[in-house]
């Protein structure tokens, strides 16, 4: 599903759709091009125009159909010991709050670097106190409060650390919290299981306290931590006596959810459990059917369920993200694998919870070849959902599904109201089943830049980070 055209130089830059074959074939360095878009909202097929050569680091292209400016930001060969440059997840921003720096991961995301967004200069390799590499499993997050743009946080064993300024060398590490004295004695690590994020102000954090049983990590407790007050809340199995989950009260461990996280506004802590069910073939935690461990639920930060019952916000532990309605209320976005719908669910208030879900789209409308990743929308871009699709190139529907391998911003409305779908750009990636080729894409905290790790339509034998730029005022133009 790609066309290859040679690179030709243009004498001018046009915001209009190309009118001639020569213009269509133009795929050139556009480093000074203004940020614009053709705001494509139809469902016509849009094929990436790969050009005759893969862009070099720092080189920009303009997609001829969508008008989106695309810039290659990395050269993996500059990352020592790595063959890839990666954005690993869609659920948190790889860009810091000032927009100056970018977090990039190496092969298998076991290493990490900070890169200058504009120059592409590699600023710093990130390491722990002992100079050992830190990567995806270290759960590295920028401070997104706006107060400390150069600060990052990461976890190691039973502790949360921060590097206050990643521009200094050597790196200065600070212990934020050692949880060893507050979690069960059996625990050897705290973690969110790599995808979860803190609250937008970087104050509230969610973790599982766990230990390895020789086969896998098992969960001893759930933890909420607030940095500003140095306060910790813990939920242990024994705390569930007298609840619908009383069958865990005599146990020392919990079943492990897919991940844990804090909602963007710090409303609560989400435990991403899968669906509990029983049929003629399977028994998947049948004792949890209809309980707070049946599907993703949001719990109060202090875990005081007798004062505020956990609220179900998704059918299962599927791909998910966050958005805001026009008034600024949080909605949890997820893929419903029982109804084949895309759900938007308020996490608190009178119309919150799974039974009040808003079905914003049907999977089949996007095409059955597609898988979905959902981003964490910034609060400044209310009323929109960010979706990035990946479609296996060998799927029989790949070439006919209009949404295959696309970056999409969709209005947050019930599907019955025909929400507007903005086709930002093809994501310039080819997916053939390799997990690292799912082209995860994340939107920044301003809502004007999207970062994608792609293989440039299969033209690369590895992945690099590309930047897709959006007009600052796109939400008022649509």
pLDDT, position 169: 85
Q: Within a 10 A sphere around the Cβ of 294, how many other Cβ atoms?
A: 23
Does residue 394 contact residue 428 with C-beta atoms inside 8 Å?
no
Residues of the chain with pLDDT under 70: 1-31
Cβ burial 358-396 (10 Å sphere, 16+ → b, else e): bebbebebbbebbebbbbbbbeebbbbbbbbbbbbbebe
Beta bridge partners of 152: 142, 163
Are residues 236 and 220 in contact, defined by beta-carbon separation less than 8 angstroms? yes
- Omega before 170 within 30 of 0, i.e. cis: yes
pTM of the model: 0.93
pLDDT of the residue at 30: 67
Distance of CA 114 to the CA centre of its chain: 18
pLDDT at position 3, please?
37
pLDDT for 101-143, tens place per residue? 999 999 999 999 999 999 999 999 999 999 999 999 999 999 9
For position 33, what pLDDT does the model report? Answer: 78
- Record the tokens describing residue 421, joined without a space: 């779908």
Rg over CA atoms, the chain: 22
What is the predicted pLDDT for the residue at 14? 34
Q: C-alpha dihedral over 182, 259, 450, 152, to 10 degrees? A: 20
Q: What does CATH list as the number for 76-424?
A: 2.130.10
Burial of 355 (0-12, 13-18, 19+ CB in 10 A): exposed
What ranges do the domains of the chain cover? 76-424
3-state SS of the chain: helix, strand, coil percent to 5? 10, 30, 60
Q: Which residues contact 202 (CB under 8 A, 6 or more apart)?
A: 141, 142, 143, 144, 145, 148, 153, 227
> Is residue 315 a contact partner of residue 333, using CB atoms and an 8 Å limit?
no
Per-residue pLDDT tens digits for 360-414 = 999 999 999 999 999 999 999 999 999 999 999 999 999 999 999 999 999 999 9
């Amino acid at each position: 599903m790609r066309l290859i055209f040679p690179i030709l130089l243009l004498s001018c830059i046009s915001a209009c759709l190309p009118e001639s074959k020569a213009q269509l074939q133009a795929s050139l360095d556009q480093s000074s091009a203004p940020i614009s878009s053709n705001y494509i909202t139809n469902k016509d097929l849009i094929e990436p125009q790969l050009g005759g050569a893969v862009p070099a680091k720092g080189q920009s292209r303009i997609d001829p159909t969508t008008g989106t400016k695309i810039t290659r930001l990395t050269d993996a060969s500059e990352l020592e010991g790595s063959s890839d440059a990666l954005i690993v997840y869609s659920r948190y921003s790889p860009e810091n709050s000032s927009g100056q720096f970018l977090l990039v991961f190496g092969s298998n995301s076991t290493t990490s670097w900070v890169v200058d967004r504009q120059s592409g200069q590699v600023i710093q390799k990130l390491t722990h106190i002992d100079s050992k590499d830190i990567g995806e499993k270290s759960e590295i997050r920028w401070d997104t409060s706006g107060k400390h743009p150069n600060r990052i946080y990461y976890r190691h064993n039973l502790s949360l650390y921060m590097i206050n300024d990643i521009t200094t060398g050597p790196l200065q590490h600070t212990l934020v919290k050692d949880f060893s004295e507050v979690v069960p004695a059996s625990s050897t690590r705290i973690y969110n299981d790599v995808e979860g994020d803190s609250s937008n102000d970087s104050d509230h954090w969610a973790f599982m306290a766990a230990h390895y049983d020789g086969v896998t990590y098992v969960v001893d407790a759930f933890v909420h931590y607030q940095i500003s007050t140095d306060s910790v809340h813990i939920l242990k199995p024994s705390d569930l006596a007298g609840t619908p989950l009383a069958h865990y009260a005599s146990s020392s461990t919990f079943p492990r959810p897919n991940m844990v996280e804090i909602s963007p506004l710090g409303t609560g802590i989400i435990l991403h459990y899968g669906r509990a069910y029983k049929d003629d073939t399977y028994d998947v935690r049948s004792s949890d059917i209809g309980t707070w461990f049946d599907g993703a639920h949001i719990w109060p930060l202090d875990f005081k369920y007798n004062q505020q019952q956990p609220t179900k916000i998704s059918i299962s532990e599927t791909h998910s993200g966050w958005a805001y309605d026009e008034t600024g209320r949080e909605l949890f976005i997820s893929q419903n694998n029982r109804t084949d719908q895309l759900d938007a669910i308020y996490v608190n208030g009178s119309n919150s919870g799974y039974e009040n879900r808003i079905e914003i789209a049907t999977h089949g409308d996007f095409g059955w070849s597609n898988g979905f990743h959902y981003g964490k929308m910034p609060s400044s871009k209310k009323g929109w959902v960010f979706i990035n699709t990946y479609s296996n190139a060998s799927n029989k529907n790949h070439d006919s599904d209009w949404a295959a391998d696309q970056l999409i911003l969709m209005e947050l409305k019930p599907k019955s109201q025909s929400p507007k779908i903005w086709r930002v750009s093809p994501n310039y990636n080819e997916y053939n089943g390799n997990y690292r080729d799912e082209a995860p894409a994340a939107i920044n905290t301003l809502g004007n830049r999207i970062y994608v790790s792609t293989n440039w339509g299969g033209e690369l034998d590895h992945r690099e980070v590309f930047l897709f730029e959006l007009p600052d005022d796109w939400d008022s133009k649509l």
